[in-house]
Amino acid sequence: MIEVRNVKFVYNEGAEDEKEALHNVSFTVNDGEFVALVGHNGSGKSTLARLFNGLLAPSSGIVKVDGMDTSDKKALFDIRKTVGVVFQNPDNQMVASVIEDDVAFGPENLGLASEEISERVEWALKSVGMAEHRKGTPFRLSGGQKQRIAIAGVLAVKPKVMVLDESTAMLDPLGRDEVMNVITRLNREEKMTVIMITHFMEEAALADRIIVMRDGRVAAEGGKEIFRKRELIESAGLELPVAARIAAKLRERGLDIEGDVTLPGELIDALCP
Ligand code: ADP
Ligand code: MG
Q: Is residue 79 part of a domain?
A: yes
Full domain range(s) for residue 270: 241-273
Q: Which atom of ligand 1 is nearest to the CA of 40?
A: 3
pLDDT-derived band of residue 259, with 50, 70 and 90 as boundaries?
confident
Q: Alpha carbon of 77 to those of 48, 109, 110, 113, 117: distances in Å?
A: 18, 10, 9, 19, 19
pTM, 2 dp: 0.91
**168 and 253 share one domain:** no
Residue 233 placed within a domain: no
204 and 262 fall within a common domain: no
Assess whether 209 and 262 both reside in one domain.
Answer: no
* pLDDT for 264: 87
Predicted pLDDT of residue 172: 79
Q: Are residues 35 and 105 in the same domain?
A: yes
Task: Mark the residues whose beta carbon lies below 5 A from ion ligand 2.
Answer: 45-46
Query: Does the residue 234 lie in any domain?
Result: no
Ligand 1, atom 5: closest residue by C-alpha: 44
Ligand 1 binding site (Cβ under 6 Å of any ligand atom) = 11-12, 19, 21, 39, 41-47
Within this chain, do residues 168 and 211 fall inside the same structural domain, yes or no?
A: yes
Over residues 177-235, the pLDDT tens digits come to 878 888 898 899 889 999 999 988 888 989 999 999 999 999 999 998 888 888 888 89
Q: Whose CA is nearest to atom 27 of ligand 1?
A: 11
31 plus 144 within the same structural domain:
yes
272 and 186 belong to one structural domain: no
**Co-location of 56 and 168 in the same domain:** yes
Pocket test for ligand 1, best of 13, 17, 19 (most atoms within 8 A of CB): 19
**Domain match, 151 and 271 both:** no
State the closest ligand 1 atom to the C-alpha of 41, by its place in the atom list counted from 1: 4
Q: In this predicted structure, what is the pLDDT of residue 257?
A: 86
Task: For residue 254, tell me if it sits in a domain.
Answer: yes
Distance 221 CA to ligand 1 centre (A): 21
Task: Answer whether residue 236 is part of any domain.
Answer: no
- Position 235 in a domain: no
User: Do 264 and 138 fall into the same domain?
Assistant: no
Average pLDDT over residues 248-254: 90
203 and 155, same structural domain?
Answer: yes
**Number of folded domains in the chain?**
2
Residues 48-106 have pLDDT tens digits of 999 999 999 999 999 999 999 999 999 999 999 999 999 877 777 788 889 999 999 99
Would 65 be classed as within a structural domain?
A: yes
CATH, residue 39: 3.40.50.300
Residues 224 and 245 in one domain: no
